[in-house]
Amino acid sequence: MKTLLFGFLMISSLSYAETKCTTEPTSKWKDQETFKKDLEKTYTIKKFKVTPGNCYEIYGFDKAGKKIEIYFNPVDGSIVKQR
């Protein structure tokens, strides 16, 4: 029973793990609107948001029409995670 409970707790905690992008203050982040406009040159963005892990996250499509979900570091614009 303990093993089952432990396994459940481990799986539950993994589902709540969030992607962390930066610990820098927002004053050092790229401007959201400018960053989004630059991304729109490459992607069709359906949703743009700031995550609890301090990432810029987009949902949408790439130029080939493939669905994307990408987390960006808002300080330097690098891709942190992509699905």
Residue 14 domain flag: no
Please name the residues in contact with 49: beta carbons below 8 A apart, sequence gap of 6 or more.
56, 57
Helix extents (H) in the chain = 2-15, 32-39
Identify which has the larger pLDDT, 12 or 51.
51
At 5 the pLDDT is 44
**What tens digit of pLDDT does each residue of 32-74 get?**
999 999 999 999 999 999 999 999 999 999 999 999 999 999 9
| CATH number, residue 26 | 3.10.450
CA distance 61 to 13: 29
By residue range, what is the domain housing residue 34? 20-82
Q: Domains in the chain: how many in total?
A: 1
At 9 the pLDDT is 45
Length of the chain: 83
Residue 67 domain flag: yes
Residue 11 domain flag: no
Task: Give yes or no for residue 24 having a pLDDT over 80.
Answer: yes
